[in-house]
Structure 1
Amino acid sequence: MGAGAPVTAAACVLTADGAYAARLARAGESWFPERWTLDGPEPYAVPLPGNQPEEPGTEVQPLADGRVLIHRLVARRHAFALLYPTGPGTGEVPLGAVECPEPGTRLTLLPPAPGGARAYALAVGPRSSVVWLVAGGAFGPERLAELPGRCTGGVWLDPAGRMLALDRELAGRTKTVVVDLERGEASPLLQITEGSDDRLLLADPDSGLLLISSDAPSPGRARLGWGVLGSTLPVRFPESLRLPDCAVTPFAVQPGQVLTPEHCAVALRLDGAFGTWVGTWRPAERRVAHLPAPVGWLAGAGLWTPEGVLRLPYATRETPCGLADLTGPREMDTEPPGEGGELMAAAAVSDPVAARPVPLQQAPLGRCVTK
């Protein structure tokens, strides 16, 4: 392996503000947690090995105070602990465990919450799904809400980390619901047509921009679209996001674009026959800009700064902890909403509301009308 070759690693997870990251790193045949500090002059990594190597499927997630949450499966019990460096060693604070007695139940960590003081997990069983608070509570893991159906995803809709969107499969269809974690209640968020499968992929609380996957425009074939939470504007499925023979996965939205969702930059992971690279796109633009990914990119990880810089973590033999800053085109050709071959889903909402995360049952994603 050459000096610039990528290093084998599991997925990299960043805090919502991008100050820290965590991943499982590999030394020979052994896996160990590693914390990255990204908000200083130079990124640097701190290894957090335990008394024995970790299993390859072990999950890690950084918190805002620099500690790393670790999720281990131990004899059918999901054990959680906080790791932190202690000079040459690693300190560990056990947080308790969650038992999933029903066969077939799978428990995974949800994406990092805004603020970074708490962490959540989703247990998905054959008939229902449970949201757990696993770090940041007073008395160990806390059961917050149970929903009928099988849930996936996990998108935060507000800066306080109270409103969590989940994609729920129920009665053969997938629709997005939102869970109020303080009340433990769920309500509908996204339904473009009654018979479509609709998923929420990303959301930006500042602008209200939503990135959506739905087969409403082409039954049986999912397409990427965008909408605005709390707006009466229609949901759009632009042709520019249809890339032949290429899987397109949004992974980051530029924050800070208050009241201008159409100008938010969106980062896309593009997977095709020639490998994996990066795309950038804005709702107002006609096309996707293609950018080379840095060698060793921990694919799918990254975040935008409010100033429009895309930061991508990478690891190679030469640079085991790196952060590449990419700046794509600021603005490209734009088109008026509804033109340029776009498909639109009409809004169905009783009363116009301002762009805000609640009341979510008023989100304007109701019926689909194609033009």
Structure 2
Amino acid sequence: MPPIPSVPPTLSVRLSIPSAPQKPLAPPAPAAAPAPAPAAPEPQVDAPALPRAPSRPVPPALTIAADHAYAARLTTAGKTAGDAWYPERWTLDGPEPYAVPLPLDQPEEADSDVLPLSDGRVLIRRRVGADLHTFSLLYPTGPGTGELSLGSLDCAELALLPPSPDGMSVFALLPGAHSTGIWLVAGGAFGPEHVADVPGRCSGGVWLDREGRLLSLDRQLPGGGPVKAVVVDLERGGEVTPLLQIAPGSDDRLLLADADSGLLLVRSDAPGQDRLGWGVLGSCLPVRFPECLRAQDETLTPFAVQPGQMLMPESCAVALRIDGAAGSWVGLWRPAGRRLHQFAAPGGWLAGSGFWTREGVLHLPYSRQDAGCAVALLEAPADEPRPAVAQGTGMSAATPAFGVCRPVPLGQAPLTGRTASG
């Protein structure tokens, strides 16, 4: 595949991949790896409004709203570790992407979180001291930045959940000694609101519907034991339903889900080592662990599923971030296919961020000196015809089938087999 061309700022690049099967590209050699993304985009920000802040770990690259209209990240005005952090909003649903800086009078800490809403505002979570987290909404106001305070939560640990499908709500997990609290920190009427408590320690977070009602969490019960994905119904007081039970003692986590097709991407050590697998919500077929997703020296992390494939989960294209000694690049795969297609990422890719269109075009945001805010487009390649014999490694017949622990398919209510939310 020819190298991704350089483009002017705010210009999209379409990479047309031939439909005929082709040999996957080898991962780039370390010496030829693309230069790391610059720490700042092109938009210039007035230096006096951004005093220097202490160096902190680099925050997550980019968070994209559920409807893909906006994205947000923390970035710096310069290219040195001591430069001040400030939020930046990307607009992705126009003819060309563009970025708007949202600095305030004081710099942000690099461990703050930002999350875009569907109306263009950006939520920011700040840690104040050891046990206090504050929440505000930021928005552009002419040459400046407006801020609306939403309140605070007093807790040692807090993790924002991925953007809610409704586009206007933001939820957070507060792990405790015996249970995990779910709080609505944006979208409520009177500041942060307690929604539910789930027994055990929860992490992760994947939405299973388009209404923001059914949330999957990876839970470990008090006292230890394996980690199992469960479903929490936020409209029924946090009632809990088992979701994954591949083997009794295995750690079974849900990584990604598509509400249209029901395709689920999971990570489990049931096959004897941590492997990526896939299944279908509500199906009675077992989780399958394709050999093409079994990496020895790289880490594969799915980050986007093609939407709109109603009743056709095996045809959904899945984008994966591949991390290895040479850096990070992009993998494309379908459950119906027999191979993982690998492609070099655009220079300055905000690794692990991107989204699909219904037509099978992957959008990869990137930022570099010649393009402070841009998106590369990658079309999903065609796969070889799949033979009648199923490929990949499924669990044995003695292993509980994938759908057995999910009482009914998504969308049927009331759901059964629930436990009290405690």
The normalised TM-score by structure 1 is 0.91
Gapped regions of structure 2 (runs ≥ 5):
1-5, 9-34, 41-58
1:154-211 Cα offsets, whole Å, 9 max, x none, are 0000010110000012222100111111222222111111111100000000000000
Q: What is the distance in 2 between the residues matched to 1:235 and 1:361? A: 22
1:148 pairs with 2:199 = yes
Are 2:111 and 1:61 aligned?
A: no
User: How far off its partner does 1:79 sit?
Assistant: 0.4
What's the counterpart of residue 55 of structure 2?
none
Cα gap change, 1:191/1:361 in structure 2, threshold over 3 Å: closer, same or farther?
A: farther
The match for 1:369 is none
Match of 2:227 among 154, 158, 174: 174
Note closer, same or farther for the CA distance 1:229–1:274 as it changes in structure 2 (3 Å cut). Answer: same
Residue in 2 that maps onto 1:162: 213
How far apart are the structure 1 equivalents of 2:406 and 2:229? 21
Q: Counterpart amino acid of 1:162?
A: R
Relative CO higher for 1 or 2, CA cutoff 8 Å, sep ≥ 6? Answer: 2
Structural mapping, 1:296-307, within 5 Å:
296-307=348-359
For the residue of structure 2 that corresponds to 1:190, the secondary structure is coil
SS at match of 1:57: coil
Greater CA drift, 16-25 or 235-244: 235-244
Number of residue pairs the alignment of both structures matches: 355
Whether the 8 Å contact between 1:301 and 1:313 is mirrored in structure 2 is yes
Which residue of structure 1 aligns with residue 152 of structure 2?
97
Q: 1:58 to 1:282 in 2, by over 3 A?
A: same
Q: Which has the larger radius of gyration?
A: 2
2:257 matched to 1:200? no
How far off is 1:125 after superposition? 2.7
Which of 138, 142, 147 is the aligned partner of 1:87?
A: 142
**Structure 1 residues 7, 16: CA separation in 2 closer, same or farther (over 3 Å shift)?**
same
Please give the alpha-carbon distance, in whole angstroms, between the structure 1 residues aligned to 2:370 and 2:322.
25
Please give the secondary structure, in 2, of the residue aligned with 1:182: coil
- Matching residue of 1:368: none
Scaled by the length of structure 2, the TM-score of the pair is 0.80
Per-residue deviation at 1:77? 1.4
Which stretch shows the higher mean deviation, 345-354 or 88-97? 345-354
Letter in 2 for 1:21: A
Is the Cα contact below 8 Å between 2:408 and 2:416 reproduced in 1?
A: no
- One-letter amino acid of the counterpart of residue 198, structure 1: D
Q: Is the 8 A contact 2:217 2:232 kept in 1?
A: yes
Provide the rounded CA distance (Å) in 2 between the counterparts of 1:350 and 1:177. 10
- The letter for the 2-side match of 1:282 is R
Q: Identity of paired residues, percent?
A: 61
Correspondent of 1:21 among 68, 71, 84 = 71
Contact 1:210 1:228 in 2 (8 A): yes
Q: 1:207 to 1:64 in 2, by over 3 A?
A: same
Q: Note the C-alpha offset of 1:356.
A: 4.2
> 1:7: which partner in 2?
38
Aligned to 1:279: 331
